[in-house]
Amino acid sequence: MSRETIFQASLEFFLEPLREFFDDDAVTEIMVNGYNEIYVERHGKLYESDARFPSDDALLTAVHNIAQYVGREIDADRPILDARLPDGSRVHAVIPPSARRGTYLTIRRFKRDIFGLDDFIRLGSINAAAKEFLELCVKLRKNIIVSGGTGTGKTTFLNALSMAVPEEERIVVIEDSSELKLNQKHTLYLEAQQQDAYGRGGLSIRQLFVASLRMRPDRIIVGEVRRGEALDMVQSMISGHSGSMTTVHANTAADALVRLETLSLMSDVEIPVYVARAQVASAIHLIVQLTRYAEDGSRKVSRITEACGLDPQNQYRFRDLFVTRLSGRTDDGNLIASLEPTGQKPTFAAEAREHGLEGRVRESAGLWE
């Protein structure tokens, strides 16, 4: 019996109170607010469940077991855990004394029914023209930010978008906790590591990013930028490593670039604000904005926006290429939405022809020369 099989069986035993939710494909998130209070998200809406752990010790043991599975530790000195389950689901845990009501455990389910952008068409999150346009942008090595709030599906969309990366490329994926699973064979995965109790052995996203530049990557994909590694990523984008992709927490395209700018300033390299802004403006080509609509819990691509550098006042300039229009509700209360082209072409509209990709242009012909 392999180590993986043993841990799988162990996790299933300790997480038994949550089994019904793992078997329910409609559940996208499991939120444990202490051993006797469990909420779930179904179709974008929260529901309180009747499930319970036997005791707080039972819940804490389950969290320690998850930590052991990913080779990390969680204790009073390091009370926060970011990890993953064998099926790819993302785990976040906080234990006392930082968690005042007991152990908190949040599990973001790995969606098995979403593999590529065609699946987002099936779910009504995107249309054929936008799908084709984004795939061509990936092949044209545009630097793309997937932006959105918590729970909008940024990582899932990034994974689907990566399907457009040519098979012959060497890809390096960097994450805090491994979630992305690319189809391309020549893919290397790097995962950040926590320090031990003595401050030894830690590896940050930033350290991994610097290391990845020496691995001869054709393309670098960062699961999410959260800290000073944004500066290294931005500088690599403008110095030969085009075609990079990442996600960022932001509610608009403008907020996404401002956040990247702010994160770049958090680096230990001191640079003026105007330099950080100029580098972000030069590096990012496209922002895909995801939105979760509270009215029906649906998640959709709400905008696809080109970043067009800086204006004379040193402010970011944008060009919306696709915008979602809401036109009502269905009889069962779901929003009727359509992601429509705005009629504007990107500044790189001639590049599909210049790179010999005009034969791939069908649905998105109005955006290319």
Query: Does position 260 have pLDDT exceeding 80, yes or no?
Result: yes
With 0-12 / 13-18 / 19 or more C-beta atoms within 10 angstroms meaning exposed / middle / buried, residue 93 is: buried
User: What would the two tokens of residue 103 be?
Assistant: 């152990």
Same domain for 134 and 244? yes
Same domain for 220 and 286? yes
Cα 194 to Cα 75: distance, rounded to the nearest angstrom:
12
Rg (CA), the chain: 21
Q: Among all chains, which residue has been given the structure tokens 């809406």?
A: 45
pLDDT of residue 151: 87
Cα 307 to Cα 310: distance, rounded to the nearest angstrom:
9
Same domain for 122 and 92? no
Separation of CA 87 from chain center: 17
> pLDDT tens for residues 330-353?
878 788 889 999 999 999 999 999
Tell me what the mean pLDDT of segment 59-70 comes to.
92
| Confidence label for 77 from pLDDT (cuts 50, 70 and 90) | confident
With 0-12 / 13-18 / 19 or more C-beta atoms within 10 angstroms meaning exposed / middle / buried, residue 287 is: buried
Give the residue from 50, 79, 108 where a domain finishes. 108
CB 147 within 8 A of CB 287: yes
Separation of CA 162 from chain center: 11
Q: Which residues of 310-346 are buried (b: 16+ CB within 10 A; e: fewer)?
A: beeeeebebebbbbbeeeeeeeeebbebebebeeebb
Tell me what the mean pLDDT of segment 56-74 comes to.
92
User: What would the two tokens of residue 346 be?
Assistant: 């990107």
Residues 6+ away with beta carbon under 8 Å from 257 = 145, 280, 281, 284, 287, 307, 316
Q: Give φ, ψ of 96 to 5 degrees.
A: -60, 150
Tell me what the mean pLDDT of segment 93-120 comes to.
88
The residue segments making up the domain with residue 78 are 3-108
Q: What is the pTM of this model?
A: 0.88
Q: How far is CA 242 from CA 138, 229, 235, in A?
A: 10, 16, 10
Same domain for 125 and 99? no
Give the residue from 60, 86, 108 where a domain finishes. 108
Same domain for 238 and 158? yes
Same domain for 72 and 53? yes
| Confidence label for 269 from pLDDT (cuts 50, 70 and 90) | confident
**Domain tally for the chain?**
2
Indicate the SS3 state at residue 205: helix
Same domain for 212 and 273? yes
CB 277 within 8 A of CB 310: yes
Query: Does position 4 have pLDDT exceeding 90, yes or no?
Result: no
pLDDT of residue 179: 83
pLDDT of residue 140: 98
| Confidence label for 70 from pLDDT (cuts 50, 70 and 90) | confident
Q: What is the mean pLDDT of the chain?
A: 92
- CATH code of the domain containing 51: 3.30.450.90
pLDDT of residue 123: 87
Same domain for 122 and 230? yes
> pLDDT tens for residues 285-334?
999 999 999 888 889 999 999 999 999 999 999 999 999 998 888 878 78
Same domain for 99 and 201? no
| Confidence label for 245 from pLDDT (cuts 50, 70 and 90) | very high
Same domain for 166 and 209? yes
Indicate the SS3 state at residue 221: strand
Tell me what the mean pLDDT of segment 184-196 comes to.
88
pLDDT of residue 54: 96
Q: CA torsion 265→271→274→276, rounded to 10°?
A: -50
Cα 173 to Cα 171: distance, rounded to the nearest angstrom:
6
Residue 168 is given by DSSP the state T
Give the residue from 80, 108, 136 where a domain finishes. 108
- CATH code of the domain containing 216: 3.40.50.300
Same domain for 93 and 176? no
Instruction: Select from 178, 174, 195 the least CA-distant residue to 80.
Output: 195
Same domain for 187 and 326? yes
